[in-house]
Structure 1
Amino acid sequence: MANPTQDQIVTIRRGVTRLARRLRVERPPSALSGNKIAVLASLYRNGPTTPGAIAAAEHQQPQSLTRVFADLEADGLVLRVRSETDRRAWVLHLTVEGREALRADMAHRDAWLEAALDDLTDAELGLLEIAAQLMERIAR
């Protein structure tokens, strides 16, 4: 196993933080909140699931997302259905409108990122892709 130096840790943290901040800035003013996008993205990646499972995946308390779930349901972006296995529980489903809202949010940031990556070499792009996969693994 690797033993990263403090300089490596700081460099990685700074790069990730700056890119994340820039991607947030590139969202249009009318975009959904970060929590709403996180819920929609979780449902897109993992399929229908319980509010508790989404909160756990997002490292939040279910109570802190209650309003987010309610707003998404009111806006028609998620559908809340009783669990077939536990009638006391609810399962959230991503609607067609929710998938479109997520796609629109990502498209705006993807357009900025595409332009930003345009000056990189094929080798640099490949390295960033590997780094992104590693960051995804670390974040889990």
Structure 2
Amino acid sequence: MHPDPDTASRVSDDAELADLAWRVREGVGRLNWRMRAERDPNGPGPAVLAVLSRLYRAGTHTPTELAEAERLQPQSLTRILAWVSERELVTRTTDPEDGRRSLISITPAGLAVLREYSVQRERWLAAALESTLSPTERQLLKLAADLLVRVADA
């Protein structure tokens, strides 16, 4: 579904820029949805993977910090932390600065789960790129991917 002209005018006075914004959002969103669908249905769910990813990328967190960063209700995070702790994907230690708080860190086993999930998605994506795009299109996509990272970091 392409945006109607009224929506485009609310996005930007430049119709071409509004169309580009819509196309990028649509493409990134659909690709994200498809890549999530490629995960192992018996593996960890998206919320678990998000928590593991947060711990990997940003380091040790308190449960409160994790809940806020991932926009999770405390009850949901409690269930997730129980699941990952039971499987030894994270460790929970007492905060040396405040013994009432705990610190959550990813374990090597948690990192292995995260890496396997990434490998599965990238394996699917590489096959899709190979079967769908020409070598020239793949080079263009490489440039576009670099640009998307720059936009995301802006």
Q: TM-score range by the shorter chain?
A: 0.7 to 0.9
Following the alignment from structure 1 to structure 2, what is the Cα–Cα distance between the partners of residues 58 and 28? 22
Following the alignment from structure 1 to structure 2, what is the Cα–Cα distance between the partners of residues 129 and 115? 20
Does 2:97 correspond to 1:85?
yes
Match of 2:33 among 5, 12, 21: 21
Q: Displacement, 1:63? A: 3.0
Query: For 1:34-82, what per-residue CA distance to the aligned partner results, in whole angstroms no more than 9, with x for missing partners?
Result: 0000011111101111111122221223332110011100111011111
Aligned to 2:8: none
Match of 2:49 among 37, 40, 45: 37
Following the alignment from structure 1 to structure 2, what is the Cα–Cα distance between the partners of residues 128 and 117? 13
Following the alignment from structure 2 to structure 1, what is the Cα–Cα distance between the partners of residues 47 and 29? 18
Aligned to 1:114: 126
- How large is the Cα RMSD of the aligned pairs? 2.1
Q: Displacement, 1:24? A: 1.1
Q: Displacement, 1:12? A: 2.7
**Percent of aligned pairs sharing the same letter:** 34
**Any stretches of 5+ residues in structure 1 without a counterpart?**
none
Query: For 1:95-136, what per-residue CA distance to the aligned partner results, in whole angstroms no more than 9, with x for missing partners?
Result: 11111111111110011112223333323212123214423x
TM-score (norm 1): 0.85
Match of 1:95 among 80, 87, 107: 107
Q: Which residue type is aligned with residue 39 of structure 2?
A: R
Q: Please, which moves more after superposition, 47-56 or 5-14?
A: 5-14
TM-score (norm 2): 0.78
Aligned to 1:52: 64
Following the alignment from structure 2 to structure 1, what is the Cα–Cα distance between the partners of residues 51 and 148? 24
> Do the aligned partners of residues 85 and 70 (structure 1) sit closer, same or farther apart at CA in structure 2, a change above 3 Å counting?
same
Does 2:84 correspond to 1:72?
yes
Q: Please, which moves more after superposition, 50-59 or 118-127?
A: 118-127
Query: Rg bigger for which structure?
Result: 2
Following the alignment from structure 2 to structure 1, what is the Cα–Cα distance between the partners of residues 87 and 108? 12
Q: Which residue type is aligned with residue 53 of structure 2?
A: A
**Any stretches of 5+ residues in structure 2 without a counterpart?**
1-10
Any conservation in 2 of the 1:117–1:125 contact (CA below 8 Å)?
no
Does 2:140 correspond to 1:128?
no
Following the alignment from structure 2 to structure 1, what is the Cα–Cα distance between the partners of residues 112 and 45? 15
